[in-house]
Amino acid sequence: MNGVNKQRLFIASCFALITTAFAFAIRAGIMNDLAKDFNLTDTQLGWIQFMGAFGFPIATLIGGPLYNSLGPKKLGWIALACHFLGITFSIISGSFLPLFFSTFFISFGNGMVEAAYNPMSADMYEDNKATMLNKFHVWFPGGLAIGALVALFIANIGGSWQMKLAFMYVPMLVYAYLFYGQTFPQTNNEMDKASTATNLKAIFSSPLYFFMLACMVLTATTELGTQSWVERILGNSGAQPLVILFLVTGLMAIGRYFAGPIIHRLNIPGVLLASAIISLAGIYLMSTATGGTVYLAAILFAIGVCYFWPNMISFVAVYLPKTGALGMSLIGGVGMVGLSICQPIIGKWLDTERASAFARGLTGDAAELSAGQATLDNIAWFPALLIVAFSILYFITRKNAATSPH
C-alpha cells in the first residue's frame, strides 16, 4: 500500500464514527426537549428515531455495492456532505416534518461511514481484521460517551437542543481535515481480487449469511434500541439517564479496545453467545431496579452489548470473506433496518404501558417508571432469542469445517 498513511486514515475513520455516535447520543439527550418544544407524543418521537436509523441501511445498500468501484474516498465525501446537510437543517427545523427529514440525512451519512470504513479497515489490516474492526468500533460507544457528556454539560448550563446538535460539527470537521489530500488503499476490485458480482454470489449461496442477517436485527435493537430511549425509559428511575448512557458507552469503548485477547480465547461465536446471555441479565435487572442499583444493572448491560456490532461484522469478514465489502455493509444495513422498524414500536410500547399505568391508578413519576420498566421487559425478548440463535451458531461453527476462516 505505497503512499497510504494507514494510521492517519484509521484515525480519520474513527472521527467519522464519532460523528455517527454523536448523532445517536445527542438525539437520545434531546428527546424530552423535542417532546416539549414540538408537543410530540412518544409514538411521534419513535418516528424521529425511525428516521435516525432508516437512512443508515439505505446508505449501506447503496454504498456496499459501490465500494469496489468508487472506493472509500468518494463514499467518505458523500458521508461528509450528508452529515453537514443533516446537522444544519436539523438545527434550523421549526416543526416535526423538517426535523423528520433532516434526520434522514444524518442517518444516511452514518451509513456511508460504515459502508466506506469497515471494508477499508479490513483491507488495510488484512491479517488482523477482527481486532482492528473492534478497535475501529471503539469509537461508536466512545463517541456516545463523549456525546452524552456534551449533552449533559450543555443542558446544565441552560443550553438549547440546537446547541447540542451543533456540537456534531466538531468531529465532522476533524475527519474532513484528516482525510483531505490522503491516498486511500486500493479496493479488491482495483486489485482484481474480487468484484461486487463475486460478493453477491457468495451472499446468495450462503444460508449462514442470511442467518447472521436475522441475528443482526436482534443485536442492533438490543444495543441501540435500548440506548436510544434511555432518557424516556429510565428518566424516572432515580438515576440520571445521561450518566447511565455515559457509563454504558464508556465501558463498551474500553471493552472493544481490549477485545483481541477475548476473541482469541473464546472465538467470535463464543463471544456473541456470552454477550447475549449477559445482555438479557442486564436488561432484566434494569427493568426492576431503581435508584443507584440502576447503575449496576447498566454496567452489566454494557458488558453484554459491548461486542455485538463489531463482532457481527467481524464474523462476516473472517468466516464469510468472499462476501467482501458488500457483505460487511449489508449486515450493518439490515441491522439498522430492523432497528428503525423497532423504534416506533418501542415508542408505542411506552405510550401503551403509560396508559396501562394510568388505568391502574398510577400517576406522575410512578406511571412513567412503570411504563419504562414494562418497556424494558418487552425489549428483553430480543437477547432471549439471541441466546438460542448464537447457541446454534456456536455449535455450527465448531462442527462445520466449511465455515472456518481460511
Which of 91-105, 231-245, 267-281 has the lowest average pLDDT?
Answer: 231-245
- State the distance between the two ends of the chain, measured CA to CA, in whole angstroms: 22
Q: Nearest-CA neighbor of 110 among 209, 42, 25?
A: 25
pLDDT band at 286 (very low <50, low <70, confident <90, very high): confident
Residues 249-262 pLDDT 10s:
888 888 888 877 77
pLDDT band at 400 (very low <50, low <70, confident <90, very high): low
Q: Is the pLDDT of residue 365 over 90?
A: no
How confident is the model over 62-86, as a mean pLDDT? 90
The more confidently predicted of residues 292 and 330 is 330
Q: In the 8-state DSSP scheme, what is residue 365? A: H
Q: Which pLDDT value is given to residue 210? A: 95
Q: Which pLDDT value is given to residue 403? A: 46
Residues 204-227 pLDDT 10s:
999 999 999 999 999 999 988 887
| pTM (predicted TM-score) | 0.75
Q: How far apart are CA 75 and CA 112, in angstroms?
A: 6
Q: Is the pLDDT of residue 187 over 80?
A: no
How confident is the model over 160-189, as a mean pLDDT? 88
Q: Is the pLDDT of residue 402 over 50?
A: no
Task: Provide, rounded to the nearest whole percent, the portion of the chain with pLDDT above 90.
Answer: 31
Q: Nearest-CA neighbor of 224 among 14, 25, 16?
A: 25
Highest mean pLDDT among 73-87, 188-202, 280-294: 73-87
Which of 57-61, 268-272, 399-403 has the lowest average pLDDT?
Answer: 399-403
pLDDT band at 247 (very low <50, low <70, confident <90, very high): confident
Cell of 124: 488495510
Give the H/E segment covering residue 336: helix 324-359
Neighbouring CB atoms inside 10 A of 296's CB total: 14
Average pLDDT of the chain, as a whole number: 86
Q: Which pLDDT value is given to residue 189? A: 54
Q: Which pLDDT value is given to residue 191? A: 52
Which residues does 106 contact at the CB level (< 8 Å), separation at least 6? 23, 52, 55, 82, 83, 86, 87, 90, 168
Q: Nearest-CA neighbor of 34 among 119, 86, 96?
A: 96
Q: Tell me if 12 sits within 8 A of 175, measured CB to CB.
A: yes
Which residues does 185 contact at the CB level (< 8 Å), separation at least 6? 1, 4, 6, 9, 72, 120, 123, 124
How confident is the model over 190-195, as a mean pLDDT? 58
The more confidently predicted of residues 43 and 306 is 306
Task: Provide, rounded to the nearest whole percent, the portion of the chain with pLDDT above 70.
Answer: 95
Residues 7-58 pLDDT 10s:
999 999 999 999 999 988 888 778 888 888 888 887 788 888 788 878 888 9
How confident is the model over 233-239, as a mean pLDDT? 73
Which of 110-124, 232-246, 252-266, 279-293 has the lowest average pLDDT?
Answer: 232-246
Q: Is the pLDDT of residue 113 over 90?
A: yes
Q: Is the pLDDT of residue 122 over 90?
A: no
Q: Which pLDDT value is given to residue 372? A: 84
Q: Is the pLDDT of residue 1 over 70?
A: no
Cell of 211: 442467518
Q: Nearest-CA neighbor of 241 among 380, 369, 384?
A: 369
Which residues does 350 contact at the CB level (< 8 Å), separation at least 6? 42, 229, 232, 233, 371, 372, 375
Domains of the chain in sequence order: 6-400 (1.20.1250.20)
How many H helices and E strands in the chain? 20, 0
Which residues does 27 contact at the CB level (< 8 Å), separation at least 6? 48, 49, 52, 103, 228
